Amino acid sequence: MDSLEHLITRSIKTYYKSKLYAPIVFLVILIAVTFIFPIGHLLFPRTYSEDSISLYEMYNDGENYAKFDLKNLYFTGYTSKWLDRTRGYYYYTMINSECVIVLLDPDTCEQGSPTIEELTIKGEILYDSEAARNLLANLASDLNWSEEGILSTVSTYTISEPDATGPSAEAFQFFYTIFGLYSVASIIVYSLYIAFPVLSLPVQKTRAYGKPAEILEEAEEELATLPQLATEDMFITEHYFIETSSYGVAIVPIDAIIWIYKYSTMHKFLWHHFSITYTLHITAGKRHYIKCPKNIKSDIDGIMDYLAEANHDILVGFSEENRLKVEEIQNDFDVIRKITSFLSKRV
């Protein structure tokens, strides 16, 4: 049958092509967000010496995050608090003959050192922030100076270290990086599986029963010759059970199957019942589990009857007795028993 030629290989390629769309779309979104927002500067900030800093140009160019080499910072006596916790300490320094307010992390300034001769920080450039205006208003009051006067002598741009290195910023960078790496890794792995199906997980899981490449070749040959039983996406050949659905691909030797059972699912929306589908569960040796969802009852029953006839050792149907037998066969609690035995000897 021409339609069954290399069906397993084609199904593996189709399955991973469908899985490839999500990480590609997600990666494109991450890249677009990186260009739209200053995320690139947050992740990979450039370092600026004091004489090369132009907060106006950097802010208007969208470079809101950077590393700054600063000198001669003086504590204003004011702190920034959030939820009764000191978030940072306000300092002022001269950058290119302009007085700039800098908010430092408590650890960076050693909980408010009076003066700091030199330091390098990662910070966010803020423009005309409400916190800075309140600070300057308080300073003007302390110095018996008008608010307009102090605003005219201090830059409207401030540098905030906590906004660039605080928990929320660190968490954002961590998850952004993790999601980006996961998307890239998924694209690479899925592309590899599409190019070389023998390396894919469905085929590699058969390593427990022999050489994956040989098992794939034999299963393809048996399926192409003539399957013993065939449904829309489940097949039984002389030696293998094969699934080639949109939910996954599986190959398992019939003589390795331990337990088979089915359960039904009613699909409904609000009070309307649409249909009932059946899921076939297969447990094979070496803790190989296969789930074939959304099938019709006659297909599932036919597969189960044929497998039970082909391998009389298969446990059929879900029951507590069968579940315990499978646990015993697979030694599911063997490790726990060994630990318990060891601890009892120690006691």
- Interval 129-157: pLDDT, tens: 899 889 988 888 887 777 777 888 899 99
pLDDT value for 143 = 79
Q: Is the pLDDT of residue 343 over 60?
A: no
Q: What is the rounded distance in angstroms from the CA atom of residue 137 to the CA atom of residue 133?
A: 6
- Interval 271-302: pLDDT, tens: 666 678 899 999 998 889 999 998 889 999 99
Query: What is the tally of helices (H) and strands (E) in the chain?
Result: 12, 14
> 163, 164, 171, 140: which is closest to 82 by C-alpha?
163
- Interval 1-37: pLDDT, tens: 458 889 999 999 999 999 999 999 999 999 999 888 8
Task: Identify the CATH class of 41-165.
Answer: mainly beta
- Interval 188-218: pLDDT, tens: 999 999 999 999 999 999 999 999 999 999 9
Instruction: Give me the amino acid identity at 199.
Output: L
Q: What tokens were used for 41?
A: 């500067």
Q: Is the pLDDT of residue 164 over 90?
A: yes
> 65, 21, 42, 12: which is closest to 245 by C-alpha?
12
pLDDT value for 322 = 92
What is the CATH number that goes with domain 209-342? Answer: 2.30.29
Given this chain, do its domains 41-165 and 209-342 carry the same CATH topology?
Answer: no
pLDDT value for 35 = 85
Contact 1, 237 (CB under 8 A): no
Burial of 188 per CB tally in 10 Å (0-12, 13-18, 19+): exposed
Q: Name the CA radius of gyration of the chain, rounded.
A: 33
pLDDT value for 67 = 95
Domain edges within the chain: 41-165, 209-342
Q: Is the pLDDT of residue 109 over 90?
A: yes
Identify the residue with better confidence: 221 or 267: 221
pLDDT value for 347 = 44
Contact 106, 89 (CB under 8 A): yes
Q: Checking phi first, is residue 112 left (phi over 0); if not, alpha (psi -120 to 50) or beta?
A: left
